[in-house]
Amino acid sequence: MDRISWDEYFMAQSHLLAYRSTCTRLAVGATIVRDKRIIAGGYNGSISGGVHCIDEGCYVIDGHCVRTIHAEMNAILQCAKFGVPVEGAEMYVTHFPCLHCCRTIIQSGIKTLYYAKDYKNHPYAIEQFKEAGLVVKQVPFNDHNINPHYIEQMELTFELLRAVEEGGAGDQEKVEALKSKAHNLYPRSLHLK
Protein backbone atom coordinates (compact mmCIF):
# COMPACT_ATOMS: atom_id res chain seq x y z
CA MET A 1 0.00 0.00 0.00
CA ASP A 2 1.32 3.47 -0.89
CA ARG A 3 1.73 5.88 2.01
CA ILE A 4 0.74 9.51 1.67
CA SER A 5 3.49 12.11 1.87
CA TRP A 6 4.06 14.28 4.94
CA ASP A 7 2.65 17.28 3.07
CA GLU A 8 -0.52 15.34 2.19
CA TYR A 9 -0.80 14.10 5.76
CA PHE A 10 -0.59 17.56 7.34
CA MET A 11 -2.82 19.09 4.66
CA ALA A 12 -5.39 16.36 5.34
CA GLN A 13 -5.26 17.35 9.02
CA SER A 14 -6.03 20.96 8.05
CA HIS A 15 -8.97 19.83 5.93
CA LEU A 16 -10.23 17.76 8.85
CA LEU A 17 -9.98 20.80 11.14
CA ALA A 18 -12.01 22.83 8.61
CA TYR A 19 -14.98 20.54 9.36
CA ARG A 20 -15.11 22.19 12.82
CA SER A 21 -15.56 25.64 11.28
CA THR A 22 -18.63 27.63 12.29
CA CYS A 23 -18.29 30.07 9.40
CA THR A 24 -21.02 29.87 6.77
CA ARG A 25 -18.97 31.64 4.10
CA LEU A 26 -15.80 29.50 3.94
CA ALA A 27 -14.54 26.63 6.13
CA VAL A 28 -10.78 26.89 6.72
CA GLY A 29 -8.39 24.75 8.74
CA ALA A 30 -4.75 25.35 9.72
CA THR A 31 -2.12 23.07 11.23
CA ILE A 32 1.22 24.16 12.68
CA VAL A 33 4.01 21.61 12.44
CA ARG A 34 7.55 21.50 13.83
CA ASP A 35 9.96 18.61 13.24
CA LYS A 36 7.19 16.57 11.55
CA ARG A 37 5.02 16.86 14.68
CA ILE A 38 1.71 18.72 14.92
CA ILE A 39 1.98 21.40 17.61
CA ALA A 40 -1.36 23.21 17.05
CA GLY A 41 -4.43 23.38 14.91
CA GLY A 42 -7.16 25.88 14.30
CA TYR A 43 -10.30 26.54 12.31
CA ASN A 44 -12.28 29.68 11.64
CA GLY A 45 -15.01 30.40 14.15
CA SER A 46 -16.21 32.72 16.88
CA ILE A 47 -14.51 33.47 20.17
CA SER A 48 -14.86 30.79 22.86
CA GLY A 49 -18.37 30.97 24.29
CA GLY A 50 -19.48 33.47 21.65
CA VAL A 51 -22.34 33.39 19.18
CA HIS A 52 -21.55 31.39 16.03
CA CYS A 53 -22.29 32.39 12.45
CA ILE A 54 -23.95 29.02 11.81
CA ASP A 55 -26.47 29.91 14.54
CA GLU A 56 -27.12 33.61 13.93
CA GLY A 57 -25.58 34.46 10.58
CA CYS A 58 -22.42 36.37 9.79
CA TYR A 59 -21.74 39.82 11.23
CA VAL A 60 -20.43 41.52 8.10
CA ILE A 61 -18.75 44.94 8.04
CA ASP A 62 -17.13 46.22 4.83
CA GLY A 63 -17.50 42.79 3.22
CA HIS A 64 -15.80 40.90 6.07
CA CYS A 65 -17.29 38.86 8.89
CA VAL A 66 -15.98 40.42 12.09
CA ARG A 67 -17.38 37.64 14.29
CA THR A 68 -14.95 35.04 12.97
CA ILE A 69 -11.35 34.47 14.06
CA HIS A 70 -9.40 32.97 11.17
CA ALA A 71 -7.99 29.44 11.34
CA GLU A 72 -4.37 30.63 11.07
CA MET A 73 -4.86 33.08 13.96
CA ASN A 74 -6.57 30.43 16.08
CA ALA A 75 -3.67 27.99 15.56
CA ILE A 76 -1.06 30.65 16.45
CA LEU A 77 -3.13 31.83 19.45
CA GLN A 78 -3.36 28.22 20.67
CA CYS A 79 0.44 28.11 20.73
CA ALA A 80 0.59 31.43 22.58
CA LYS A 81 -2.01 30.30 25.11
CA PHE A 82 -0.07 27.15 25.99
CA GLY A 83 3.46 28.58 25.65
CA VAL A 84 4.44 26.58 22.57
CA PRO A 85 7.01 28.40 20.40
CA VAL A 86 6.33 28.52 16.65
CA GLU A 87 9.72 29.93 15.61
CA GLY A 88 10.91 27.99 12.56
CA ALA A 89 7.67 25.98 12.27
CA GLU A 90 5.61 25.22 9.18
CA MET A 91 1.93 25.97 8.65
CA TYR A 92 -0.48 23.98 6.48
CA VAL A 93 -3.70 25.81 5.61
CA THR A 94 -6.61 24.85 3.38
CA HIS A 95 -6.76 28.27 1.66
CA PHE A 96 -4.26 31.05 0.94
CA PRO A 97 -4.33 33.33 4.02
CA CYS A 98 -5.79 36.83 4.09
CA LEU A 99 -3.45 39.81 4.38
CA HIS A 100 -3.85 40.08 8.17
CA CYS A 101 -3.11 36.40 8.69
CA CYS A 102 -0.11 36.63 6.34
CA ARG A 103 1.44 39.34 8.49
CA THR A 104 0.69 37.39 11.68
CA ILE A 105 2.31 34.28 10.19
CA ILE A 106 5.44 36.29 9.35
CA GLN A 107 5.61 37.93 12.79
CA SER A 108 5.11 34.60 14.60
CA GLY A 109 8.32 33.20 13.12
CA ILE A 110 6.77 30.53 10.93
CA LYS A 111 9.21 29.86 8.09
CA THR A 112 7.19 27.82 5.58
CA LEU A 113 3.56 28.09 4.53
CA TYR A 114 1.80 25.34 2.59
CA TYR A 115 -1.67 26.04 1.24
CA ALA A 116 -4.09 23.89 -0.78
CA LYS A 117 -6.30 26.38 -2.62
CA ASP A 118 -5.88 29.89 -3.92
CA TYR A 119 -8.31 32.28 -2.25
CA LYS A 120 -8.19 35.99 -2.99
CA ASN A 121 -4.37 35.88 -2.87
CA HIS A 122 -3.45 39.47 -2.03
CA PRO A 123 -0.45 40.77 -4.02
CA TYR A 124 0.87 42.65 -1.00
CA ALA A 125 0.76 39.45 1.09
CA ILE A 126 2.83 37.67 -1.57
CA GLU A 127 5.25 40.60 -1.60
CA GLN A 128 5.57 40.57 2.19
CA PHE A 129 6.18 36.82 2.25
CA LYS A 130 9.03 37.29 -0.24
CA GLU A 131 10.44 40.24 1.70
CA ALA A 132 10.40 38.19 4.94
CA GLY A 133 12.01 35.18 3.23
CA LEU A 134 9.05 32.98 4.11
CA VAL A 135 8.74 29.96 1.80
CA VAL A 136 5.25 29.58 0.30
CA LYS A 137 4.23 26.40 -1.52
CA GLN A 138 0.94 25.24 -2.91
CA VAL A 139 0.10 21.64 -2.02
CA PRO A 140 -3.03 20.68 -3.96
CA PHE A 141 -5.26 18.43 -1.93
CA ASN A 142 -8.05 16.10 -2.89
CA ASP A 143 -9.63 13.12 -1.22
CA HIS A 144 -8.57 10.88 -4.10
CA ASN A 145 -4.94 11.09 -2.93
CA ILE A 146 -5.90 10.20 0.62
CA ASN A 147 -8.59 7.63 -0.10
CA PRO A 148 -7.91 5.58 -3.23
CA HIS A 149 -11.45 4.12 -3.05
CA TYR A 150 -13.15 7.54 -3.04
CA ILE A 151 -14.56 7.26 -6.57
CA GLU A 152 -15.80 3.71 -5.99
CA GLN A 153 -17.41 4.74 -2.70
CA MET A 154 -19.10 7.71 -4.33
CA GLU A 155 -20.39 5.54 -7.20
CA LEU A 156 -21.70 2.94 -4.75
CA THR A 157 -23.51 5.61 -2.76
CA PHE A 158 -25.27 6.89 -5.88
CA GLU A 159 -26.04 3.35 -7.00
CA LEU A 160 -27.67 2.66 -3.62
CA LEU A 161 -29.67 5.89 -3.87
CA ARG A 162 -30.86 4.95 -7.38
CA ALA A 163 -31.85 1.48 -6.17
CA VAL A 164 -33.91 2.94 -3.34
CA GLU A 165 -35.44 5.57 -5.64
CA GLU A 166 -36.42 2.92 -8.20
CA GLY A 167 -37.91 0.74 -5.53
CA GLY A 168 -35.25 -1.88 -6.23
CA ALA A 169 -34.44 -2.19 -2.54
CA GLY A 170 -36.86 -5.12 -2.40
CA ASP A 171 -34.87 -7.10 -4.97
CA GLN A 172 -32.90 -9.32 -2.58
CA GLU A 173 -30.30 -10.37 -5.17
CA LYS A 174 -29.54 -6.73 -6.01
CA VAL A 175 -29.37 -5.80 -2.32
CA GLU A 176 -26.93 -8.63 -1.59
CA ALA A 177 -24.71 -7.62 -4.52
CA LEU A 178 -24.63 -4.01 -3.27
CA LYS A 179 -23.86 -5.18 0.30
CA SER A 180 -20.96 -7.24 -0.99
CA LYS A 181 -19.65 -4.29 -3.00
CA ALA A 182 -19.95 -2.00 0.05
CA HIS A 183 -18.19 -4.52 2.31
CA ASN A 184 -15.22 -4.61 -0.10
CA LEU A 185 -14.99 -0.81 -0.13
CA TYR A 186 -15.41 -0.40 3.64
CA PRO A 187 -13.80 -3.58 5.02
CA ARG A 188 -12.99 -2.33 8.53
CA SER A 189 -15.59 0.33 9.16
CA LEU A 190 -18.82 -1.08 7.81
CA HIS A 191 -20.34 -4.28 9.13
CA LEU A 192 -23.24 -5.34 6.98
CA LYS A 193 -25.60 -8.07 8.02
Q: How far apart are CA 71 and CA 134, in angstroms?
A: 19
| Residues that are catalytic | 72
Type of residue at 36: K
Distance of CA 137 to the CA centre of its chain: 16
Q: End-to-end CA distance of the chain, in Å?
A: 28
Q: How far apart are CA 21 and CA 45, in angstroms?
A: 6
Q: How far apart are CA 102 and CA 23, in angstroms?
A: 20
Q: How far apart are CA 41 and CA 93, in angstroms?
A: 10
Q: Coil, strand or helix: which one is 95?
A: strand
